[in-house]
Amino acid sequence: MTRRLGVMTRDCAGINAALRAVVRTATGRQAEVYGIIRGYDGLIDGELRPLDRRTVSGIINLGGTILKSARSERFLTEEGQLQAVRMIENHKLDGLIVIGGNGSLTGAHLLATKYGFQVIGIPATIDNDLGQVDQCLGADTAVNVALDALDKIRDTATSLERIFVVEVMGRECGYLAMKVALAGGCEDVILPEQDFDLNEICQEIQAGNAQGKVSWIVIVAEGKARAQDVATAITLLTGLETRIAVLGHIQRGGRPTAIDRILGAKLGWAAVEALLAGENDKCITLKNEEIIPIPLEMVIKPKKLVFEPEYRLLKLLS
Ligand code: F6P
C-alpha cells in the first residue's frame, strides 16, 4: 500500500539531516512524502510540497530547516486545528512526522489524541529539555557554537583582564549553560535548577582578585537571570569592570556537528519505520544506540536535570 506522509519541522541544526533521512527512508519503502512549509501555519494554509530523494540532496550539512518554520498562534485555537485537520484530509495524508521541541510535539500529541491522526515525533531543540530524551537534535551543535563564541570572548577577557557575564539560551533548562560553562573552563554558572548567591560569587571574585586573578567568565542561563542584572550587581559589589555578552540566536544556527548529523540520520530513519509499523503518538529517541519510541505525553513534560556533580567539578577546576 502506498502511503502519503507529511513532515514538518522547527529549526535547529541537524533537522535537515533528519529530513533527508525521513525522505530517503520513506521513498525507499514506496511511500510518498510531502514537506509542510512553515510548520503548523503551513499546515493550516495547505502549503505542502512533494519531496523526493533529489530535493533533499546537499542539505545534510545545513543548519536551520529547508522547510522553513514559524510559531503558529492559529494552531492554538480550535478553529486553526480544525482547518489543519481539513488540510490533512484534503491532501490525503495518512501519517505525519513532526520534528521539533516542546511546542511542536505538544501539537503532534494533540493531533493524535484529539483528532485521531497518526503522528510520530522527532525530538529537536537546543534546550535539550524534553522529558525522557537524553539527547535532542540540535543541542550538541548549540553547545559547540556557544563554546566557539565563548572562546573568543575569553581572548578579550584575558587580554583586558575583565569580568564577563555571558547569557545563553535554554528556556527553563540549564543544559546548554552547564555544558558550555564546563567545556569553556568558566569560573561560575547560574542555572535554573540551582539557587545562587551573588554575594558569594562576588566574595570569590574579590578573594581571587586579591591573589592576582584578573579575569572571570560567569555563564548565566536565560531561564534564571539576565546577564545585565548580574553584571551590574557584580560591579556594584566588587567595584570591578564587567562586560556582558548575550549569545542569542547564533546558538540555534550553524553547521550541524557530526553528532547531530548522525543523530538526525538515525532518528529520521527510525521515525519512518515506526510510522510504517503502525506506531502512533510516540517520540523516537535513542538510548545506548537502541531506538526507543516513547509516548509523546511523557516527552512534552519538562525533564528535571540534576547538575550538582558537574557544577562541583566546575568549581573544583576553576
Ligand atoms: O526553544 C529554543 C529557543 O531557542 C530557546 O532557547 C529560546 O528561549 C527561544 O527558543 C527563543 O524563541 P524565539 O526564536 O521565538 O525568539
pLDDT in tens, 204-218: 999 998 998 889 999
Measured distance CA(48)–CA(71) in Å, rounded: 17
**Which residue bears the cell 552547564?**
178
pLDDT in tens, 101-132: 999 999 999 999 999 999 999 999 999 999 99
> How far does residue 296's CA lie from ligand 1's centre (Å)?
21
Measured distance CA(303)–CA(279) in Å, rounded: 23
pLDDT in tens, 42-94: 999 999 999 999 999 999 999 999 999 999 999 999 999 999 999 999 999 99
Residue 46 gets the label, from left (phi > 0), alpha (psi -120 to 50) or beta, of left
* Residue 259: partners with Cβ closer than 8 Å, 6 or more residues away: 135, 140, 141
Give the active site residue among 127, 129, 260, 281. 127
> pTM for the full model?
0.97
DSSP3 helix / strand / coil % (the chain, rounded to 5) = 45, 20, 35
Question: If you ran DSSP here, which 8-state letter would residue 248 be given?
Answer: G
Instruction: Indicate whether 288 pLDDT > 90.
Output: no
> How far does residue 273's CA lie from ligand 1's centre (Å)?
30
Instruction: Report which ligand 1 atom has the smallest distance to the Cα of 252.
Output: 4
Q: Domains in the chain, ordered, with CATH?
A: 4-138+256-299 (3.40.50.450), 142-252 (3.40.50.460)
Instruction: Report which ligand 1 atom has the smallest distance to the Cα of 126.
Output: 2
**Distances in whole angstroms, Cα of residue 317 to Cα of each of 186, 187, 204, 299, 311:** 9, 8, 14, 34, 10
The closest residue, in CA terms, to atom 8 on ligand 1 is: 171
Q: Is residue 2 very low, low, confident or very high in pLDDT (cuts 50, 70, 90)?
A: low
Active-site residue, 134 included? no
